[in-house]
Amino acid sequence: MAHSLKSLTAHITSVLGHLSAPENEDEHVRMKLLGELEKLRTALETPQAALQKLLFDGSALTAARVAQSMGLFDALARSPHSAQTVEQLHAHTKGDKAFLASKVLTEPSERILRLLYAEGKFVERMSRDSYKPMQLALMLVNASPAADAIKHIYPNLQMYGKFNDYGVANGFQTPGDAFKAPFQSTFDTNKHYFEWLNDHPEEQRAFNSTMAMSRAMRDSDWLNKFPVNEKLTTAQDQVSFADIGGGTGEDILAIREKYPHVAGKMVLEELPQVIDSIARPLPVGVEAIQYDMFTPQPVKSAKVYHLRSVLHDWPDKQALQILGRIREAMNRESTLLLHESTYPDENSAHEAIATAAHVDLMMMLHFASLERTEEQWIQLLKEAGFALVKVWKPELPGSSSTVLFEAKLV
């Protein structure tokens, strides 16, 4: 065993010197390898070491958030390809030097820097008191989308800290009302998370930035397999595509670009603050209207009603209300497209399953919602009065958690 581990270590060390960038590797192979490496780490890790990592989980996010506030990532980015000393970094960060890196006797006892280095993904330590930024640190400079994502996620730690108390108080019953989630208990409010954001501009800004980054990372692969011309084309004066909660119009713009000759009008429906944030003019034939999805649907008899990454923010109670409003507006020719994150099956890559599990917890904390399985989405559609037509999945299994459900009125 010892010999095989030595050989394996030598081989891994050799391979590391020849790896290309992750985006240049085969995604399916890359994800499978990450899963196998996770199994290897688990097999080699002692129970004591696993417990230690569990107890300190959350330290990295805390350190990253504090480093942001200090301006440390901005200071590191001043010299992206070379190391800087603690003295040089301190000259461009907030706080006293001891908070950044203090010395005990003759050994440096880095505080925030030491923790970032220990994580193995923020900085490299080049000498006793000099550090060089890694790619993740450079992504986290202030005002970047990645930095805003840290600011958006960091308050989750408060909910994590009080989640057990919430469970005890509620008999560990699954929350099912978006207005009685752990979020309301933690922040002592009766407002929904989205309403609360309106009262907290900085949190709202970080949320908007994070969602914009998420939307930019969305694939438009569904447009290559879904028969857009057949399903969307209608009379020129009719609505071909109503995008409910469609952000700033990413999907509509993608359709218009790929299928410019699709007949019919397109309507983007969003909350007022989102509509107001649209920076560029929408194309001819596309209208943006302010809409609360719990109120009667203003667009009647559209060819397609589309929801993307909307219902996973809502438990079944409110999700059925939203679907009910759409159902009221549809006719027999209308199609519902539900475009949602779907909990991966057991054959998916470990990283995909782990990510989905963490997102599922976040959905429960913020919204009393969940990451639904394919079967749960189908059941939700059935309860709302829809008949499933087809489930459109990514061509490569495990490559994406997003699944497209096509449905009609029963």
Catalytic residues: 312
C-alpha to C-alpha distance for 64 and 59, rounded to whole angstroms: 9
Among 252, 226, 258, smallest CA distance to 240 is for 252
C-alpha to C-alpha distance for 76 and 342, rounded to whole angstroms: 38
Residue with tokens 């891994």: 12
Three-class DSSP category at 133: strand
C-alpha to C-alpha distance for 289 and 304, rounded to whole angstroms: 17
C-alpha to C-alpha distance for 82 and 31, rounded to whole angstroms: 31
Residue 86 class from Cβ within 10 Å (0-12 exposed, 13-18 middle, 19+ buried)?
buried
Among 114, 127, 43, smallest CA distance to 72 is for 114
Whether the Cβ atoms of residue 371 and residue 389 lie closer than 8 Å to each other:
no
CA angle 100, 105, 110 (to 5 degrees): 20
C-alpha to C-alpha distance for 386 and 383, rounded to whole angstroms: 7
Among 35, 39, 40, 29, smallest CA distance to 4 is for 40
State how far the alpha carbon of 372 is from the alpha carbons of 333, 376, 394, in Å.
Answer: 28, 6, 17
Whether the Cβ atoms of residue 380 and residue 319 lie closer than 8 Å to each other:
yes
Among 71, 123, 64, 69, smallest CA distance to 93 is for 71
Residue 363 class from Cβ within 10 Å (0-12 exposed, 13-18 middle, 19+ buried)?
buried
Among 149, 131, 183, 132, smallest CA distance to 68 is for 149
State how far the alpha carbon of 71 is from the alpha carbons of 76, 89, 104, 121, 348, in Å.
Answer: 9, 9, 24, 18, 39
Three-class DSSP category at 391: strand
Residue with tokens 């004066």: 237
